[in-house]
Amino acid sequence: MSWENDQAVVTDIFYFVNIYSHGKLPSHCEQRFLPCEIGCVRYSLQDGIMADFHHFIDPEVPPRGFRYHCQAASDATHKIPVSGFHLSRTCYTVVLRELLEFAQPARGVWPHFYCRSNDRFRINWCLNRMASIESRLELLTVEDLLTKLYQKKYQKMPSKNWVYGELDVFLWNFSSNTRCKWHEENDILWCALASCKKIAYCISKSLASMYGVSLTAAHMPLQDCDYGESGNTKMVMLDAGCFQVRFFKLIPCVISSSLSVQTCQFQLSSLDTVFRNIHWAD
């Protein structure tokens, strides 16, 4: 991917995609995932989110013996029922066809799809499963995209910490017009559409001003824009159910035996590290 100038960068169109699954099955299973929700947004730095695509997918039946595992994984994240969900109306082929219609090729060239690197294996697997054959979609990582956009502007590589830091934000977890209707109404955080929109918000926040683009409601929720300058973009969720206990991890770092009462100091491991180790929607 190469851009001639800044104008080419800001008008380039990217598609952010995510597919959620009812859990992740062991590697010996032919069926590694059961895709159940897909989200995708069309985005450019200049115009922000231009359109979005969302479906609940009619999943396959879990392999024998794995139904409980799949339901438990669902309950811990997106909470989409494994069976009998009234909104799962579309089968694999229909969803994929509609996704390809949504992402029209420009001048005969298929657009690039991007996802978070941690999600890439699952999404790629699901796309190929839905296509029955190798899907034609090229799936790239958002981390690489952010790196290249930064590099294009500043002629130098950003640090990996900066890249992951820019993308690991929780500020917009509960923003309006971010989750799909069902996840919003049920106040459930994990939504495939929301995860795509939050990537767009992060890219906007990181790069729009860098490229001289003014933020609009299409770039990020306007009511949350003020937070952008505070530097405090990480919001701890106190009601995150089963994940609460994982937020803080005590690690012994200094043990002094010179004191009469042995003291032991602890440090809090970074929330970033802890969050990164959680497989949100597997």
Q: How far is the CB of 185 from Zn ion (least distance, A)?
A: 10
Pairing label, strands 113-115, 48-56: unpaired
Q: How far is the CB of 164 from Zn ion (least distance, A)?
A: 24
Who's near 79: CB < 8 A, 6+ residues apart? 186, 188, 190
Q: How far is the CB of 254 from Zn ion (least distance, A)?
A: 45
Site for Zn ion in 89-118 (CB under 5 A): none
Please name which of 51, 59, 119, 130 lies closest in space to residue 95, comparing C-alpha atoms.
Answer: 130
Burial per residue of 5-21, b for 16 or more beta-carbon CB atoms within 10 angstroms, e otherwise: eeeebbebbbbbbbbbb
Residue 183 or 197 having the CB closest to Zn ion:
183
Stretch near Zn ion under the rule CB under 5 A, chosen from 111-119, 170-178, 184-192, 241-249 = 184-192
Burial per residue of 176-186, b for 16 or more beta-carbon CB atoms within 10 angstroms, e otherwise: eebbbebbbee
Instruction: Give the total of residues touching Zn ion (CB under 5 A).
Output: 3
Task: Give phi and psi for 179, each to the nearest 5.
Answer: -85, 165
Binding mask 186-215 for Zn ion (x = CB under 5 A): -----x------------------------
Q: Does residue 41 bind Zn ion (CB under 5 A)?
A: no
Q: How far is the CB of 146 from Zn ion (least distance, A)?
A: 24
* Angle, alpha carbons 152-154-158 (nearest 5°): 90
Residue 181 or 246 having the CB closest to Zn ion:
181
Q: How far is the CB of 122 from Zn ion (least distance, A)?
A: 16
- From 32, 122, 129, 183, residue interacting with Zn ion (rule: CB under 5 A): 183
Q: How far is the CB of 7 from Zn ion (least distance, A)?
A: 34
Q: Tell me if 201 sits within 8 A of 219, measured CB to CB.
A: yes
The pair of structure tokens assigned to 42 is: 């069309």
Mapped onto helix, strand or coil, the DSSP state of residue 204 is helix
- From 180, 189, 202, 203, residue interacting with Zn ion (rule: CB under 5 A): 180
Interface residue list for Zn ion (CB under 5 A): 180, 183, 191
